[in-house]
Amino acid sequence: MLIGYLGPKGSFSHHVAQKAFPKGKLVPLKNITEVMKAYESGQVDYSIVPVENSIEGSVHETLDYLFHQAAIQAVAEIVQPIKQQLLATSLNKPIEKVFSHPQAIAQGQKYISQHYPNAQFEITASTANAARFVAEHPDMNYAAIAPQASASEYHLKVVARDIQEMEENYTRFWILGHRVPELDLPKQGDKQTLALTLPDNLPGALYKALSTFAWRGIDLTKIESRPLKTALGEYFFIIDINNEKKKLVEFAYQELANLGITFKVFGSYTVFLIHDK
């Protein structure tokens, strides 16, 4: 079974793919859009994409593509804790430059400035790219902020462990596919994500849309407006709902349709958790 993920090897996406499909053949792809296209074109059986981080918020590349261009279903969600490591080719070497993705730099900045006040930061496209680059330059005084998986993948030493500033840092990943996969991971409830487009001629349309869920006691766990990319001030709305009252959710959808509110379901899925040691 072929599984597409956001490469290179040693990324958080790679780690999630390994945890979800330990027997799968994992196919690294160069950006999130390529990961989704690989699934659409049948090049892989499932694709794994990041959806939201607890600090940074939604991954727009994923949600915008699913809304504007795709007819793909999320069939499972995996929640991955994000912990960042300071990696180098050897321990105790001086560190002059630290490479990482801007988000990981933001999380590691405090630690680095305390312990390596003269170190400079260099931005890379991903944390795993940073690790690979550092591994390729063993003669330089370089370090990377990257996940544990990158240390194993590129044979780097962990100079400092869990240097991220915020303790509570998680990323939600979706598995895109035709069938619900069987995952050997602990479960945490059922959700559904949909995108609403509101008609221009319905005053208070968003309020009415939310009413269809509220008066049935269906919990919304998230709401977010995203630009429709037409004009400033025109949005679609991504909402996550608790999918434990399936019959009531169906009635809510009928009512949305009657109100003239268009909706696109991104998926009905079980949420799984990864517990790293």
- Mark 54-93 with x for binding to a copy of itself (rule: CB under 8 A) and - for no binding: xxxx--x------------------x--------------
- C-beta neighbour count of 49 within 10 angstroms: 28
The residues in 165-194 that bind a copy of itself, with binding defined as CB under 8 A, are 166, 168, 170, 172
Can you tell me the distance from the alpha carbon of 145 to that of 122, in angstroms, rounded to the nearest whole number? Answer: 11
Stretch that binds a copy of itself, among 15-23, 150-158, 199-207, 260-268 (CB under 8 A): 199-207
Distances (CA, A) of 45 to 18, 25, 41, 48, 68: 15, 10, 10, 10, 22
How many residues bind to a copy of itself according to rule CB under 8 A?
38
Among residues 226 and 264, whose Cβ is nearest to a copy of itself? 226
- Residue 32 CA to chain centroid, in angstroms? 10
Can you tell me the distance from the alpha carbon of 21 to that of 1, in angstroms, rounded to the nearest whole number? Answer: 9
Helices 60-68/32-40 angle, 10° precision: 40
Compute the 3-state secondary structure of the chain and give helix, strand, coil in percent, each to the nearest 5.
Answer: 30, 35, 35
By CB under 8 A, tell whether 200 contacts a copy of itself: no
By CB under 8 A, tell whether 251 contacts a copy of itself: no
CB of 175 to a copy of itself, least distance (A): 17
Can you tell me the distance from the alpha carbon of 256 to that of 101, in angstroms, rounded to the nearest whole number? Answer: 41
CB of 84 to a copy of itself, least distance (A): 16
CB of 1 to a copy of itself, least distance (A): 28
CB of 170 to a copy of itself, least distance (A): 4
Out of 232, 247, 258, 277, point to the residue binding a copy of itself (CB under 8 A).
232
User: Rounded to 10 degrees, what is the CA torsion of 104, 127, 272, 221?
Assistant: 40
Binding residues for a copy of itself (CB under 8 A): 52-57, 60, 79, 123, 125, 166, 168, 170, 172, 203-204, 206-207, 210-211, 213-214, 217, 220-227, 229-233, 235, 237
